[in-house]
Protein backbone atom coordinates (compact mmCIF):
# COMPACT_ATOMS: atom_id res chain seq x y z
CA UNK A 1 0.00 0.00 0.00
CA UNK A 2 1.37 3.42 -0.95
CA UNK A 3 1.15 6.01 1.83
CA UNK A 4 2.48 9.57 1.99
CA UNK A 5 2.17 12.16 4.76
CA UNK A 6 2.89 15.83 5.18
CA UNK A 7 2.45 18.29 8.01
CA UNK A 8 1.84 22.02 7.48
CA UNK A 9 1.85 25.07 9.71
CA UNK A 10 -0.41 27.68 8.12
CA UNK A 11 -1.15 31.28 9.02
CA UNK A 12 -4.93 30.99 9.21
CA UNK A 13 -7.56 30.56 11.91
CA UNK A 14 -8.66 26.91 12.16
CA UNK A 15 -12.33 27.85 11.76
CA UNK A 16 -11.57 29.41 8.38
CA UNK A 17 -9.35 26.52 7.29
CA UNK A 18 -11.94 23.73 7.00
CA UNK A 19 -14.12 25.18 4.23
CA UNK A 20 -11.01 26.24 2.31
CA UNK A 21 -9.51 22.74 2.50
CA UNK A 22 -12.79 21.22 1.29
CA UNK A 23 -12.80 23.66 -1.63
CA UNK A 24 -9.12 23.01 -2.43
CA UNK A 25 -9.64 19.23 -2.52
CA UNK A 26 -12.69 19.61 -4.76
CA UNK A 27 -10.71 21.91 -7.06
CA UNK A 28 -8.10 19.11 -7.31
CA UNK A 29 -10.79 16.79 -8.74
CA UNK A 30 -11.39 14.89 -5.50
CA UNK A 31 -14.78 13.90 -4.11
CA UNK A 32 -15.15 15.01 -0.47
CA UNK A 33 -16.85 12.06 1.18
CA UNK A 34 -16.91 13.10 4.84
CA UNK A 35 -15.85 15.97 7.07
CA UNK A 36 -16.15 17.24 10.63
CA UNK A 37 -14.80 20.41 12.24
CA UNK A 38 -11.24 19.01 12.26
CA UNK A 39 -11.17 16.21 9.67
CA UNK A 40 -11.76 15.86 5.93
CA UNK A 41 -11.81 12.66 3.88
CA UNK A 42 -11.76 12.81 0.08
CA UNK A 43 -11.21 10.32 -2.71
CA UNK A 44 -10.36 10.37 -6.37
CA UNK A 45 -13.32 10.09 -8.66
CA UNK A 46 -13.44 6.60 -10.25
CA UNK A 47 -12.92 6.29 -13.97
CA UNK A 48 -9.51 7.80 -14.61
CA UNK A 49 -7.31 5.11 -13.02
CA UNK A 50 -7.78 1.45 -12.00
CA UNK A 51 -9.68 0.96 -8.74
CA UNK A 52 -6.56 -0.14 -6.81
CA UNK A 53 -4.86 3.16 -7.70
CA UNK A 54 -7.68 5.41 -6.44
CA UNK A 55 -6.17 7.70 -3.82
CA UNK A 56 -7.83 8.56 -0.51
CA UNK A 57 -6.85 11.84 1.16
CA UNK A 58 -7.31 12.55 4.85
CA UNK A 59 -6.71 16.06 6.21
CA UNK A 60 -6.47 16.44 9.98
CA UNK A 61 -6.63 19.90 11.54
CA UNK A 62 -4.99 20.16 14.97
CA UNK A 63 -7.39 22.34 16.95
CA UNK A 64 -5.57 21.68 20.24
CA UNK A 65 -2.50 23.72 19.22
CA UNK A 66 -4.26 26.25 16.98
CA UNK A 67 -4.04 29.95 17.75
CA UNK A 68 -5.93 32.91 16.30
CA UNK A 69 -3.38 33.20 13.51
CA UNK A 70 -1.75 29.75 13.09
CA UNK A 71 -3.08 26.25 12.53
CA UNK A 72 -1.26 22.96 12.10
CA UNK A 73 -2.68 20.50 9.59
CA UNK A 74 -1.56 17.06 8.40
CA UNK A 75 -2.50 15.16 5.29
CA UNK A 76 -2.30 11.43 4.70
CA UNK A 77 -2.66 10.11 1.17
CA UNK A 78 -2.88 6.41 0.44
CA UNK A 79 -4.06 3.79 -2.02
CA UNK A 80 -3.83 0.03 -2.53
CA UNK A 81 -1.06 0.33 -5.11
CA UNK A 82 2.29 -1.16 -4.14
CA UNK A 83 4.88 1.65 -4.34
CA UNK A 84 7.28 -0.36 -6.51
CA UNK A 85 8.27 2.74 -8.46
CA UNK A 86 9.27 6.09 -6.98
CA UNK A 87 6.95 7.93 -9.36
CA UNK A 88 3.76 5.98 -8.71
CA UNK A 89 0.23 7.40 -9.04
CA UNK A 90 -0.23 8.05 -5.32
CA UNK A 91 3.11 9.91 -5.11
CA UNK A 92 2.24 12.05 -8.13
CA UNK A 93 -1.12 13.04 -6.65
CA UNK A 94 0.54 13.65 -3.26
CA UNK A 95 3.00 16.09 -4.82
CA UNK A 96 0.14 17.84 -6.67
CA UNK A 97 -2.00 18.27 -3.51
CA UNK A 98 1.03 19.27 -1.42
CA UNK A 99 1.92 22.01 -3.91
CA UNK A 100 -1.70 23.19 -4.02
CA UNK A 101 -1.68 23.57 -0.23
CA UNK A 102 1.75 25.23 -0.15
CA UNK A 103 0.85 27.76 -2.86
CA UNK A 104 -2.75 28.54 -1.94
CA UNK A 105 -3.61 32.22 -1.89
CA UNK A 106 -5.92 31.74 1.12
CA UNK A 107 -3.12 31.42 3.69
CA UNK A 108 0.60 31.85 4.18
CA UNK A 109 2.68 28.69 4.55
CA UNK A 110 4.91 28.89 7.62
CA UNK A 111 6.28 25.36 7.62
CA UNK A 112 5.94 22.16 5.59
CA UNK A 113 7.37 18.79 6.61
CA UNK A 114 6.89 15.73 4.38
CA UNK A 115 7.41 12.28 5.81
**Nearest-angstrom CA–CA distance, 91 and 71:** 25
> 12 pLDDT exceeds 90?
yes
Give pLDDT tens digits for 72-109: 999 999 999 887 777 899 999 999 999 999 999 999 99
Domains of the chain are 2-114 (3.30.530.20)
pLDDT value, residue 95: 96
DSSP line for 70-106? -EEEEEEEEESS---STT-HHHHHHHHHHHHHHT-TT
Amino acid sequence: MARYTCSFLLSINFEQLLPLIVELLQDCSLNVMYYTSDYVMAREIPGTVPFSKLVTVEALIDKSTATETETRMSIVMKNEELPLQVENHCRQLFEYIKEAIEHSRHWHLIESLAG
